Amino acid sequence: MASAKETYRAELRAAARQLGERCLYSAAKWAAELLVGVEPDASPVPSAAMDTPSSSSATSAGRLLHLHRSGGSSFRHRPRPGGGTSSEAGTPLGGVSYVSTPIPDDDAFDSGGDKYLLAKTYFDCREYRRAAHVLQKQVGRKTVFLRCYALYMAGEKRKEAEMIELEGSLGKSNAVNQELVALEKELSTHRRTGSIDSFGLYLYGIVLRDKGCEGLARTILVESVNSYPWNWSAWSELQSLCTSSDILNNLNLKNHWMKDFFLASAYLELKMHEEALKRYERLMGVFRCSGYIQAQIATVRYSMRDLDEAEMIFEDLLRTDPFRVDSMDIYSNLLYAKESLTALSFLAHRVFLTDKYLPESCCIIANYYSLKGQHEKSVLYFQRALKLNRKYLSAWTLMGHEYVELKNTPAAIDAYRRAVDINPRDFRAWYGLGQIYEMMGMPFYALHYFRKSSYLQPNDARLWIAMAQCYESDPLQMIEEAIKCYERAANSNDTEGIALHQLAKLHGMLGQSEEAAFYYKKDLERMEVEERQGQNFVEALLFLAKHYKSIGRFEEAEHYCTRLLDYTGPEKETAKNMLQGIKRLQSGFPSMDTDHFAL
Amino acid sequence: MSLFAGVSGGAADAASGVGTGRALLELTPHKMAVCQLVQVFAPPAQAGGDVVPPFPFESLAHHNRLGLFLFTLTRSCEDFLEPPLEEFLRQLKAVDNLANGWFCEQLTSSLSALNSPDDLFNFFDKLRGVLTAPEGASAEDVFLDPNSQLGVFLRCCILAFNSMTFEGVCHLLADLVMYCNSTDASYDLAEDEDFNSEMGNLMDADIGSQVGIFDKFHQGYASERHMGESSSALTRAPTSTYYFDDANIFKADDNPTCLRSRWQLEAYLNQQADILEKDPGSVPLNSFNATMTQLQTLAPELHRVQFLQYLNALCHDDYVASLDNLHRYFDYSAGMQGLFGRSVSQVQDIVVGKYESALLCLGNLHCYFGHPKKALEAFAEAVRVSQMNNDDSCLAYVLGAISNLLSKIGISNTVGIISSPYSLGTNIGLGTPLSIQQQLLVLLKRSLKRADALKLASLLSFDHLSLAKFDLKHVQRPLVSFGPNASTKLRTCPADVIKNLRLGSLVLTDFGADVLSTSNDNGSFSTSWLRNLSAASDSWRRSSKNTKKLHINDFDDFHYHAQPSPVPAPILQLAGSAYLLRATAWEHYGSAPMVRMNALVYATCFADAASSSELSLAYVKLIQQLAVFKGYSAAFCALKLAEKKFPSSTSLHIQLLGMQILHERALHRGHLKVAQQICDEFGVLSSSVSGVDIELKTEFSVRRARTLLAAKQFSQAAAVASSLFSTCYKYNMQVENASILLLLAEIHKKSDNAVLALPCALASQSFCKSFNLDLLEASATLTLAELWLALGSSHAKKALSLVYQSLPMILGHGGLELRARAHIILAKCHLSDPKFSVLEDPEAVLDPLNQATEDLQALEYHEMAAEAYYLKAMAYNHLGKLDEREEAAARFKDHVTALENPQNEEDSLAY
């Protein structure tokens, strides 16, 4: 199947060049990265246009070797669907064959080739208006695109500046990209006359998105990726416009292999982790060395709370690509969750040296400070991250957490609320809001937020437990609702085992001893499996002993009582008394027993 | 003579309202235009130039007119965006028509002369000259008082310019150029159409769900395009007097979108909130939301917009959206800003925008959507939080809200709607568990005390009114109720009701005296002055083109809507509800003229401030009176008018009223199917949740019993009535029980079971006596008289005396039906009295019967009319007047056939 891989390579090589020529830097970067990520063939790679064969094969071989070295991890050992047999790699998922899209020839330097060159150099130097000015009155799709793109970028740059200049007492003023109207007018005419290429469509799509015409923007972007699928920027813009799985499923996309990347990333965003993982692992079969896919898989793993696995992948990734900052903020979250201070500080130091003015870097440093317990500093760095990127969702949420630690409730609420307004599907921020209001003694008010978060993440036991605790709290005392929530929590893999214990206790409080016994028993089993002991264990034993005694099943009661004897404390005495009482009852003593005084 | 020195009070609070913003206001081209005009209005002092009025003005009046115009420009709040130059010039022309457009020319030329940042510096330098009094100025000199509204405005502008960065100056310049050019630009709508048609094409090509989304977008776009219209069309002015030419729809792209000053924005929002309350039906959900979203994108930190969105969603019964917006608003603003700075007094009524007020609003929301249990939980939490935060005023409001909720939903004291052990009883510190009514009373008293201590006049008045409402229905038991004899004494206390009603209004007059001294400018006067101005010029312009479009006198319009009311609207509203409550009270105590009078007072004097639901209630009362006293046709005429004013889809009161009258008429006409149908509709309307809409539930049962009674299904009717009786008993609704007992008596009487009916009637009578339900008592007495008659002619004397006893009340206050009944019974008493001979005194029988038939004609009450004609025929028979006898008999037959063979039943559903 070397030929299939070779096609991928050829396509990506051409794409990286074409994208780079159009100054679509990040898409070009993405394509080039992926190009290097294609699993090398056994035979030496034939010399390609762009890179020298020796260096490329050397690096990739080294990477492969390295991957084998870390083969102890389950990550390497997991059967990779499509990975073992390379024949599958070429065939797409679900047996549908990919539509091969011809690589468009670059309309070679048409009339104003030299001017284009000049414009591109201006663009590279970020002198956008000059670039656009040079290309005035030039025709040809490529020139038109670059001119429009330069104008768009000039407008964006101006907008950024204006955002700060125009900040009034009522918040940000309506700084808009001034070029949007003209661009939209021009691009729509081009589109109508058919003299637009897929890059122009991509630009038209983002212009429309910026104007708030999301539906139309989606249509245009779909057109763009259908005609030129290697532009990852177009895909990611499209993905940001797919806010629900319905929208995603209704897209009319051609079945190119790039679509798999898109779908996987969209699934990740929509929290359909299983599907995302499946797709990424298949893609991994072809693009064995792609750092991007590794990082995405690690992100999925992290979102599925599979921390060890994810950490392993991130470590690998950092070893091969030490100056990577992309998705390292997720790695830092992971390290935070695992409380590994040293690793986090190491990571923070590294990204700090790489580029300290990236929002991700700031976020990593903030995480470090947070783990250190220095919340003021942490807030400072989160604020810096947010200055760099106002829409940096996780930073808002995390900053909310920091404010909670600082006991600054209004600020925390504000931060969380902003996170929620940026992305209403961020269950962590909803959860945070709920927690704050609960802390403020407003459990009823908090319920609304917990409801929102558990609606978004229905299989997360922590959310249900939080909600149940609200219902159970002193002021509300809505036990029945609490029981319902705990049941949900118990059914969705509650690792801490709070739900079962609470269920048992609440049923006990309501006098429903059958149910209580059921849950105590389950809780007991769980604790036995996890080899955990403690007060809850004793409590469960005691209740079960009493319960079985009261319903006359003395054998079970005896069993639990004897187990209780292993523990010290007042329960032991109670158990002894009960055992005596049971014996007496079994030997047919009349009701003169006194053991119920001991209870 | 310093101009407008008197308005400095208003200016001061404008300045204080801005808070800690960086600059007092943001400079915009529009504000610069106003500055330029101020300069014309009060030119910098020239040596020796003591001409009064200054140069371009022809008279003092002309001068003052421009001053007033400028003043209103800084206060008007018809929209949140500043008008484009063209609109501004049009307004100016109306002022300017004397000086032949000198102002306009001067303004445009001087504004377009500003071409470089340095010109701007010079412009503001010159402005400073306006404010400095000339040296050696005497008191007669004309100069601008720096503390007047315009003076403050000018100073704010200069300050804003001085604190501006160079970038800001550049932006201002760019905006100014755009502002000036917007008049010259030709409006090519072609582009827009282009875009639309293209979107149309795309929509055709689009598939599946995208179409829907697209559609939404399309609408959004459309509403945005008409933004200038829609946002101002929301205001109350008749839209016909205020709209742009289609060609003049300005596009946001051509104009710098500049927000008005913060004061104006808030006034605008307050105005919108008022409209939402007064007339939610007139505010379209989506376009209002679009407007608000636009405002929000322009001013993201103006969180009150979210509160308005919450109100809007609430008014349109959108539970999810209102809940979301409520939470969003308070998440952002709790602790940051007040809810609405509408209380004019310096001491704010309630420091809102805090977490406890979030709970208060949440409770009200649940209350509105009919979730009493959730509402109570929210209120209970509000009580806790406000106690924790020492927020006494909020606590008082919450207590008021809880009592409002409790009085709205009759919660039985046995069924625990507040099921948690931490119910209100313990939570709010009442100690022992009490019945809901007792809790309500205690809460009200506590709220009253707190409001009194905190001097929260409107809450105090509200509490007095609620107490009055409570006393109206509440049956007092004597405090010492030990022993078998003491416990039976129940009574209501009308004196308490009237005391509370009067106290409620009294508090308001005290409050009024306080408030009236301070300024009460909410911008509405300025808004309508300006609107009127543009309308006038507009109509003038139109009339030159098309005389047919000449409007009715616009100035009347202005005077009607815009008289600055000396009393703030919320106060007026409370004062008004006192009258409404009075009408209700008199309904109970049985004085028709008093009901009419109070309802009329409300409808005429308080209509401006009233919310649509309260106003419709007043109309309902008036129409009910019409139906009872003038018959159905008159009532239906009035109802049609009322429905025009309040579409029945939006007003439950009106809808219910229509159904009530239809039901009555169907019963009277004997159209049982129709009656049954309407009765079923009542059943649908009453909520199935226990405790909610208890009044509606009672009404449904009463009507069902009456329908069954009319269908002669006595045992079923009796069953319904007695189950209703026990429900009312359970929910402690003794006052309702008086009428239910009477209904039971009626049912037994109709089933010829006078012996069973008698105790019911007697019980009802004694209930009425102790509850002061005079009219109902008269009606019970009548029933009693009938029952005596039914027991045999020997009791005729006793019956007659009972009738005589009730006659004064009935003739004074009773409706057509009651009067007719009294007359018929009177005649019957006479006829069945063996000692009475018709021949001796025919008038004694015939007079009342004639009266009765006349009254019944209007009611179309066949059954009773038949009875009256029958009696009449009998009497004539005795008298030997055969012709009259035949005539009466024929009429009798007509009514009987109409009753037995109901025709055109469908007619009964229409009116």
ipTM, interface predicted TM-score of the complex: 0.75
Nearest CB to B217 within list A165, A215, A252: A215
Nearest CB to B381 within list A215, A246, A444: A444
Question: Quick check: is B732 in a domain?
Answer: no
Yes or no, beta carbons of B359 and A442 under 8 Å apart: yes
Question: Quick check: is B258 in a domain?
Answer: no
Number of A/B CB contacts below 8 angstroms equals: 124
Distance from CA of B39 to the nearest CA of A (A): 26
Nearest CB to A174 within list B198, B257, B323: B257
Between CA A339 and CA B879 the distance in angstroms is 111
What residues have CB less than 8 Å from B101, skipping those under 6 apart?
Answer: B93
Q: What's the confidence (pLDDT) of residue B38?
A: 84
Yes or no, beta carbons of A417 and B331 under 8 Å apart: yes
Partners of residue A173 in chain B, C-beta under 8 Å: 298
Partners of residue A433 in chain B, C-beta under 8 Å: 331
Q: What is the CATH number of the domain that holds B376?
A: 1.25.40.10
Yes or no, beta carbons of A477 and B213 under 8 Å apart: no
What residues have CB less than 8 Å from B615, skipping those under 6 apart?
Answer: B602, B603, B607, B646
Q: What's the confidence (pLDDT) of residue B352?
A: 42
Name the stretches of chain B with pLDDT < 70.
1-24, 44-56, 96-100, 133-143, 183-257, 335-353, 409-437, 475-491, 510-569, 648-650, 687-692, 905-908, 911
Question: Quick check: is A141 in a domain?
Answer: yes
Burial of A244 (0-12, 13-18, 19+ CB in 10 A): exposed
**Which of B27, B203, B254, B331 to mutate against chain A (most A CBs within 10 Å)?**
B331
Residue matched to tokens 């809450």 = B459
Residue at a domain's end among A219, A246, A273: A246
Q: What's the confidence (pLDDT) of residue A67?
A: 36
* The token pair that represents B802 in the structure block: 């009972």
Q: What is the CATH number of the domain that holds B811?
A: 1.25.40
Question: Quick check: is B619 in a domain?
Answer: no
Question: Quick check: is B648 in a domain?
Answer: no
Question: Quick check: is A427 in a domain?
Answer: no
Question: Quick check: is B391 in a domain?
Answer: yes
Partners of residue B359 in chain A, C-beta under 8 Å: 442, 444-445
Partners of residue A162 in chain B, C-beta under 8 Å: 171
Q: Does B192 touch chain A (CB under 8 A)?
A: no
What residues have CB less than 8 Å from B458, skipping those under 6 apart?
Answer: B349, B508, B511, B570, B571, B574
Q: Does B217 touch chain A (CB under 8 A)?
A: yes
Nearest CB to B26 within list A168, A421, A445: A168
Question: Quick check: is A499 in a domain?
Answer: no
**Domain limits at A537?**
533-587
Yes or no, beta carbons of B334 and A413 under 8 Å apart: yes
Nearest CB to A445 within list B199, B209, B359: B359
Between CA B435 and CA A87 the distance in angstroms is 79
What residues have CB less than 8 Å from B897, skipping those under 6 apart?
Answer: none
Q: How far is CA A212 from CA A176, A185, B187, B606, in A?
A: 11, 15, 23, 45
Yes or no, beta carbons of A250 and B422 under 8 Å apart: no
Between CA A275 and CA B768 the distance in angstroms is 74
Q: A294 near A313, Cβ under 8 Å?
A: yes
Q: How far is CA B519 from CA B203, B456, B516, B567, B569, in A?
A: 55, 19, 7, 11, 14
Yes or no, beta carbons of A168 and B167 under 8 Å apart: no
Q: Does B422 touch chain A (CB under 8 A)?
A: yes
Identify which has the larger pLDDT, B117 or A495.
B117
Nearest residue of A to residue B424, measured between CA atoms? A475
Between CA B223 and CA B233 the distance in angstroms is 12
Burial of B552 (0-12, 13-18, 19+ CB in 10 A): exposed
* The token pair that represents A194 in the structure block: 């058919």
Partners of residue A165 in chain B, C-beta under 8 Å: 165, 167-168, 171
Q: What's the confidence (pLDDT) of residue B560?
A: 43
What residues have CB less than 8 Å from B279, skipping those under 6 apart?
Answer: B236, B612
Q: What's the confidence (pLDDT) of residue B127?
A: 84
Confidence bin at A568 (pLDDT 50/70/90) = confident
For the four alpha carbons of A208, A212, A213 and A218, in that order, the dihedral sign comes to: positive
Distance from CA of B559 to the nearest CA of A (A): 35
What residues have CB less than 8 Å from B825, skipping those under 6 apart?
Answer: B782, B785, B786, B789, B799, B803
Nearest CB to A445 within list B265, B300, B381: B381
Domain identity same for B170 and B316: no
Residue matched to tokens 């409770």 = B363
Q: Does B811 touch chain A (CB under 8 A)?
A: no
Question: Quick check: is B76 in a domain?
Answer: yes
pLDDT tens readout for residues A89-139 = 444 444 456 766 677 665 555 556 788 889 999 999 999 999 999 988 888
What residues have CB less than 8 Å from B563, skipping those under 6 apart?
Answer: none
Nearest residue of B to residue A441, measured between CA atoms? B385
Between CA B683 and CA B816 the distance in angstroms is 28
Yes or no, beta carbons of A169 and B18 under 8 Å apart: yes
Backbone angles phi, psi at B259, to 5 degrees: -75, 155
Burial of B680 (0-12, 13-18, 19+ CB in 10 A): middle
Q: What's the confidence (pLDDT) of residue A424?
A: 87
Question: Quick check: is A93 in a domain?
Answer: no
Domain identity same for B178 and B305: no
Nearest CB to B208 within list A161, A250, A433: A250
Partners of residue A413 in chain B, C-beta under 8 Å: 331, 334
Domain identity same for B147 and B293: no
Yes or no, beta carbons of A445 and B257 under 8 Å apart: no
Distance from CA of B658 to the nearest CA of A (A): 39
Q: What's the confidence (pLDDT) of residue B29?
A: 85
Q: Which residues of B265-288 are buried (b: 16+ CB within 10 A; e: fewer)?
A: bbbbbbbbbbbbbbbbeebbeebb
Partners of residue B262 in chain A, C-beta under 8 Å: 169-170
Q: Does B196 touch chain A (CB under 8 A)?
A: no
Yes or no, beta carbons of A216 and B214 under 8 Å apart: yes
Distance from CA of A326 to the nearest CA of B (A): 31
Residue at a domain's end among A246, A270, A304: A246
Question: Quick check: is A237 in a domain?
Answer: yes
Nearest CB to B332 within list A417, A442, A443: A417
**Domain limits at B842?**
785-910
Partners of residue A192 in chain B, C-beta under 8 Å: 198
CB atoms within 10 A of CB B115: 11
Question: Quick check: is B656 in a domain?
Answer: no
Yes or no, beta carbons of B259 and A477 under 8 Å apart: no
Yes or no, beta carbons of A250 and B209 under 8 Å apart: yes
When divided into structural domains, chain B yields a total of: 3
Q: What's the confidence (pLDDT) of residue B688?
A: 66
What residues have CB less than 8 Å from B284, skipping those under 6 apart?
Answer: none
CA terminus-to-terminus distance, chain B = 65
DSSP letter for B391, please. -
pLDDT tens readout for residues A344-398 = 999 999 999 988 899 999 999 999 999 999 999 999 999 999 988 888 888 999 9
Nearest residue of A to residue B361, measured between CA atoms? A445
DSSP of B433-482? ---HHHHHHHHHHHHHHHHHHHT-HHHHHHHHHHHHHHHHHPPB--S---
Q: What's the confidence (pLDDT) of residue B5?
A: 34
> What ranges in B115-205 are assigned the alpha helix state H?
117-131, 149-162, 166-184, 190-205
Residues 107-166 on B with a CB inside 8 Å of A are 165
Q: Does B358 touch chain A (CB under 8 A)?
A: yes
Q: How far is CA A174 from CA A167, A170, A181, A561, B296, in A?
A: 9, 11, 15, 72, 10
Q: A200 near A141, Cβ under 8 Å?
A: yes
Question: Stretch A287-312: mean pLDDT, rounded?
Answer: 90
Partners of residue B213 in chain A, C-beta under 8 Å: 214-215, 247
Q: Does B321 touch chain A (CB under 8 A)?
A: no
Nearest CB to B334 within list A171, A247, A410: A410
pLDDT tens readout for residues A56-65 = 333 333 333 3
Identify which has the larger pLDDT, A28 or B385.
A28
Nearest CB to A250 within list B198, B210, B335: B210
Q: How far is CA B693 from CA B463, B475, B683, B700, in A?
A: 22, 20, 11, 11
When divided into structural domains, chain A yields a total of: 2
Q: B599 near B637, Cβ under 8 Å?
A: no
CB atoms within 10 A of CB A76: 14
Q: What is the CATH number of the domain that holds A129?
A: 1.25.40.10
Residue matched to tokens 């007043």 = B618
Question: Quick check: is A75 in a domain?
Answer: no
Between CA A474 and CA A494 the distance in angstroms is 24
Q: Does B195 touch chain A (CB under 8 A)?
A: yes
Which amino acid belongs to residue A27? A
Yes or no, beta carbons of B355 and A433 under 8 Å apart: no
Nearest to A231 by CA among A104, A139, A375, A77: A104
Q: ∠ CA(B541), CA(B87), CA(B32), 5° rounding? A: 140
Q: A502 near A487, Cβ under 8 Å?
A: no
Nearest residue of A to residue B199, measured between CA atoms? A216
Residue at a domain's end among A190, A225, A246: A246
DSSP letter for B83, please. P
Yes or no, beta carbons of B297 and A169 under 8 Å apart: no
Q: Does B424 touch chain A (CB under 8 A)?
A: no
Residues 272-301 on B with a CB inside 8 Å of A are 297-301
